Amino acid sequence: MAVDTVLEKSVLRLVSGGGWRAVLVFVALAASAAVLLASFSTSTSAPAWFSIYSSSSISSASARPPVTTPAAVEPSGGVKVAPLWAYGVDLQLLDAKEQIARAPPLPNDSDLHAPLSYELMEKILKVYVYKEGEKPLCHTPELTGIYASEGWFMKQLEENKQFVVHDPDKAHLFYLPYSSRQLRTHLYVPDSHSMQPLSIFLRDYVNLIAAKFPFWNRTKGSDHFLVACHDWVPRFLPLIRRRGITFPMIFRLLLLLQGTYTTKLHEELRRNAIKVVCNADVSEGIFLRGKDVALPETYVKTPKDLHKDVGGRPASRRNIFAFFAGQMHGRVRPVLVQQWKGKDSDMKIYEKLPAAVARRMSYVEHMKSSRFCICPMGYEVNSPRIVEAIHYECVPVIIADNFVLPFEELLDWTAFSVVVPEKDIPNLKKILKGISERRYKRMQSNVKKLQRHFLWNSKPVKYDLFHMILHSVWFNRLNQMNTKA
């Protein structure tokens, strides 16, 4: 029996019958053993389930490095995989990478950090979409709800004629067209607290592709990518709650032990493939900055009217200083509410928006009328509020340590958002009040200017969300190419 399966069953037994002290002892021992193993000779490879406890994972800095030019971005923890044999497409990518590295500096008022990279993508990039995979698990996009990003990307890529090729020999990238939402709907067994069936499906799906085509084996999956948006709380969380245990450290360590992704049963898929995911959390040791891609969460309510409610009041008519309302998911929101709810008239911080307040002004109108929209993480680091704030032309205030912001290779987030470390929640008002009126108006204007990068369109439009996601995949693939090959 696999080590991680034994651990899963052990944790379930401890949580369901052993009490919180047993859980604390188990988690402490597991963490200590993993760190100890990581300290051995670097020539010895640790088992896969230990790899997420590597010293680099535990000590990941919460501070976000400044946005860099494309030539300077390097993967954190990723391994560059050289193709087993060369194709002409590899030379095209290497040439594009060299052109981007030689590009002159850009003016400060440029919309994008790397317009040359974007233009080269439009000119060069070709993607092959595997036809393998039965519906509804594959080729069946979910187009509504909080996690609709993966569905809209799937739909628009499979319909695309500019980037998609039918001859895989001409492709620079290969898309795995499965739906994490459909996997959850059709494979997850309710109350099982186990993602094993989903992991098995992905392992078998990749093995099928690797056996049928030569392309995965050529690069060990490093030119393949998946797109998934979900908020899968660790399978043990419901049981922990029933036992009345609410210690954030337990949740954190269990999350590290199990991992939130379902790629664990295929080592090359986990390590090499480009994961385009909403949970872009570098602290887990699974998402690798510079290789993987942060996928914006977009809440699509009306697929036939994708721009419904987009827009907001001008800066001069935003009479709410700061606003948040939402469920108490995760570690950050309870702290935010405890610190600010009902304690300062400038800080409109709620749990669920009270009915009496909602009758006077809806949730959407609150965001359209606020100067700053507070976007704390939920169970995972991403939140649909970030994109909602941008849609409603409200400056987003992001509170999520270890979160890699979407499109950081193209956009300067400091120009249109505020990132606040979790430890500074008590100083939140002071931080926001420290932004001058002149700077705020410029930031709010930039939100409106950059809004197009966070919009879905019924048919993709240049620089929109579809193109921005595809560019991030393209850019990170270039980042993995070895110029010395």
What CATH number has the domain spanning 315-454? Answer: 3.40.50.2000
pLDDT, tens only, 35-46: 333 333 233 332
* Rounded average pLDDT over 446-460: 97
The CB density around residue 12, as the number of other CB atoms within 10 Å, is: 17
Q: What percent of the chain has pLDDT over 90?
A: 68
| Mean local confidence (pLDDT), 303-328 | 96
Q: Tell me, what's the pLDDT at 284?
A: 81
In degrees and rounded to multiples of 5, residue 320 shows phi and psi of -100, 125
Which is nearest to 403 in space by CA: 473, 330, 326, 300?
A: 330
Distance CA 388, CA 371 (A): 14
- How far is Cα 252 from Cα 419, in angstroms, rounded to an integer? 22
pLDDT of residue 183: 92
Distance in angstroms (rounded) separating the CA atoms of residues 14 and 23: 6
For the beta carbon of residue 328, count every other beta carbon within 10 angstroms: 13
pLDDT at res. 416 = 97
How far from each other are the two terminal CA atoms of the chain, in whole angstroms? 40
Q: In this predicted structure, what is the pLDDT of residue 135? A: 96
pLDDT tens-digit profile of 44-95?
332 222 222 222 222 233 333 333 333 333 444 555 666 666 678 999 999 9
The H helix count followed by the E strand count for the chain is 20, 10
The answer to whether residues 166 and 194 touch, using CB atoms and an 8 Å cutoff, is no
Q: How confident is the model at residue 344 (pLDDT cuts 50, 70, 90)?
A: very high
Residue 11 has pLDDT above 60, yes or no: no
For 294, phi then psi, to 5°, come to: -80, 120
pTM: 0.82
What 8-state DSSP symbol labels residue 424?
G
What are 367-415's pLDDT values in tens digits? Answer: 999 999 999 999 999 999 999 999 999 999 999 999 999 999 999 999 9
What mean pLDDT is reported for the chain? 82
Kindly list the domain boundaries of the chain, sorted by start residue.
3-56, 87-302+461-480, 315-454
Of 421, 379, 363, which Cα lies nearest the Cα of 397? 421
At residue 133, the 3 state secondary structure works out as coil
3-state secondary structure of 293: strand
Structure tokens at 40: 């051995």
Chain position carrying tokens 């340590």: 401
CB 270 within 8 A of CB 261: yes
Please check the confidence at residue 123 and state whether its pLDDT lies above 80.
yes
Give the pLDDT score at 391: 98
